[in-house]
Structure formats: structure tokens, C-alpha cells
Amino acid sequence: MPWRMIATVIIATAIVACASETDARGARSTATSAASAATADSTLHVTDDNGHVVTLPGPAHRVISLIPSATESIIALGASDRIVGRTRYDVAPQVASLPNVGGGIDPSVEAIVALHPDLVIAWNTDKRQIARAKLVALGVPVFTMRTEDTTDVFRGIANLGKLLGRDTSARRVVASIHRDLDEVRRSVAGQPTPSVFYVVYNDPPMTAGSKTFIGQLLGIAGGRSIFADLDALWPQVPLEEIIRRDPDLLVVPIGEFKTNSLEHLRARSGWRDLRAVREGHVVTVPSDLLSRPGANIGEAARALRTAMHPTLAAGVTR
């Protein structure tokens, strides 16, 4: 082969090789850029109820909730398999076998860290925020939640949906709760509205203010709190004032405080002077249901309706 032809072949081969290498580098660069973009797209930035922006590289897969109502909301989102630890106050069967990390306000930080969570859900009402500070210092993301009224419930479920990558499920759960509450509200329309004292605690007497989820559910279920005029969320009230306002009905959560029974109230000075107690107009609701503002508040509203309007509730299929 003449040398000129050989040179031409060598040059052409070199050009093809360079072009192939350039294409390969371009392909690798494109793939790297695409991967980086995908990673950036999966990063979550969600602002909690204390104003902290919680950043996660993607949806959380190992979660510990220190709030029983949030635990129940996570279960309602179909993500119970993401929960790796529970508090001593959780009653949902889906988490009964999980490791216990202690209380909601005073958990064991060591027990939490040992479970390697990629997200912890905590109370925003814990003013000291000691557990949060320790966990954040150890690199554990903590998302705090407010749980005072029904607006908090809906926002909380939406935020949990974002954090878990379950936005569609969160929208379905919220829509279902709205349907439940609307059904209860419609069912009591036109019915007598009993004046109610909701007994959060009896010594000293404490009730639910109108701006709490319990106060709001009382209204939805066809009752009227005798202390609806108070601004406090969970006011302590004098027993003499309860007697003066003379409620038609006492609604008593049973399960958490054993001293809230009708028999106990009838034995207590002052309480036995209430007309509602003398006449036996004391009804009970499950405290585990009424004390957890989460995905089950529709069921809580139905429980209040049953307590305050038993005849009406008997004719309601749901």
C-alpha cells in the first residue's frame, strides 16, 4: 500500500477515534447532568410549624413519630411500613410491636438514634425543644407539628404526604375527612343544640376552648360549649362558674382519666351539685379517639354525635 494511502488511513482512523471519544464524553456528561437533575428534583424542602425548613434527599423511609395523632395519620396514608419506632402512648395495632422510644415530650434520644430514622415528627408545643435540639445536633431531621385545631389537622396530613412522598394519598385522606364532617354536620341540622361542658380534666376543672379541634368538633356534632366565649385553648375554669352556667350535658372522655366517671363525679363536692350530674346527663366518649387530632377526627365527630344525639345517631348508618 503506498505510503500516502497508509497515512490517509491512519489520519482517518484517528479522526474517527477522537470523534467517538468526544461522543462518549458527551454522553457521560449528559448522563451525569441528568442524574444530578433527578437528585435535585427529589430533594424535599418542607417548612414545619415552628418555621424551620426541613430538607430531605427524598421521601422519608424510616420515620419515628412522637405524636400519636401523626402516627395514625401516617398509617392512614398507607405508610405504616415506614414507621420504625413508637411512643408509650401509641395505641394503633399497626405499631404495637415496634420499639418504644418513650414519651412524646421526653423521649429517649439514644433509643431514637439507635433506630436510624431519616425523619422524626415532634410536637411544636414543646416549648423547651430539648429532644429536637439534641436530634438535630446528631444530624437527625426533625419536623415539628401543631395539633390544636382542625386546620392544623389538614395542614399536618398534607405535610406528612409531602415528607413521605404520599401527596395523592394525603389529598384523598383530607377529602374523606371533609366528607365525614359534612355528613355529621348535615345530620344534626335542625336538631336541639344541648349546652355542653366537655371535661378535659376535673381537678382542677379544664375544658376545650372553641378554637381547639374538640371545641370545633362539638359544634359540628350539634353541641354548644358553655365556655365558647373564652379565648384560651384549654382553659381552667372555676367549678362555681360551671354550676352557674348550668350545662345540659357533660361530655366525659373515658380511658385516660379514671376519675371522670359519673359515679366519681356524683361523689365529688360541687360536681354533684350540677343539674347534669344529678339527672345523669353525663355521656362518655373514648379518650384515645378524642385526644388525637389526626386522620380519625371524622370518627371523633361521629362519636360526639352519638353521645349528644343518641336517638339521631341510632338512625344513621355511618
| Residue of 255, 262, 199, 257 whose CA lies nearest to 226 | 199
User: What pLDDT is recorded for position 255?
Assistant: 77
User: What pLDDT is recorded for position 257?
Assistant: 53
User: What pLDDT is recorded for position 263?
Assistant: 75
pLDDT(17) > 60: no
Instruction: Place 256 in a pLDDT band, splitting at 50, 70 and 90.
Output: low
Residue 12: φ, ψ to 5°: -65, -40
pLDDT(22) > 60: no
Query: What integer is the mean pLDDT of 16-29?
Result: 45
Using the Cα atoms of residue 24, residue 25, residue 31 and residue 34 in order, give the sign of their dihedral: negative
Architecture in CATH of 46-165: 3-Layer(aba) Sandwich (3.40)
Arithmetic mean of pLDDT over the chain: 86
Our CA angle for 302, 305, 310, nearest 5°, is: 120
| Cα dihedral 243→245→250→252 (10° resolution) | -80
Lowest mean pLDDT among 7-21, 69-83, 93-107: 7-21
Residue 211: φ, ψ to 5°: -95, 5
How far apart are the C-alpha atoms of 157 and 135, rounded to whole Å?
23
Residue 99: φ, ψ to 5°: -60, 140
Residues 6+ apart with CB under 8 A from 142: 48, 52, 54, 119, 120, 121, 122, 132, 135, 136
User: What pLDDT is recorded for position 36?
Assistant: 42
pLDDT tens digit sequence for 23-73 = 444 444 444 444 444 444 689 999 999 999 999 999 999 999 999 999 999
How far apart are the C-alpha atoms of 226 and 224, rounded to whole Å?
6
- Residue range(s) of every CATH 3.40.50.1980 domain in the chain: 46-165, 190-314
Instruction: Place 101 in a pLDDT band, splitting at 50, 70 and 90.
Output: very high
Instruction: Place 260 in a pLDDT band, splitting at 50, 70 and 90.
Output: low
pLDDT tens digit sequence for 172-204 = 999 999 999 999 999 999 999 999 999 998 889
Instruction: Place 313 in a pLDDT band, splitting at 50, 70 and 90.
Output: low
Residues 6+ apart with CB under 8 A from 182: none
Lowest mean pLDDT among 102-106, 126-130, 299-303: 126-130
Lowest mean pLDDT among 72-81, 90-99, 217-226, 270-279: 270-279
> Considering the domain 190-314 in this protein, what is its CATH number?
3.40.50.1980
Query: What integer is the mean pLDDT of 255-276?
Result: 76
How far apart are the C-alpha atoms of 77 and 295, rounded to whole Å?
9
User: What pLDDT is recorded for position 122?
Assistant: 96
Rounded to two decimals, what is the model's pTM? 0.84
Instruction: Place 243 in a pLDDT band, splitting at 50, 70 and 90.
Output: very high
Tally of CA atoms within 13 A in the half-sphere of 115 that contains its CB = 24
- What are the angstrom distances between the C-alpha of 67 and each of 92, 101, 125, 300? 12, 12, 11, 17
User: What pLDDT is recorded for position 126?
Assistant: 81
User: What pLDDT is recorded for position 4?
Assistant: 40
How far apart are the C-alpha atoms of 40 and 213, rounded to whole Å?
38
User: What pLDDT is recorded for position 205?
Assistant: 94
In the beta sheet, which residues pair with residue 145?
123
Q: Which amino acid is at 239?
A: L
pLDDT(15) > 70: no
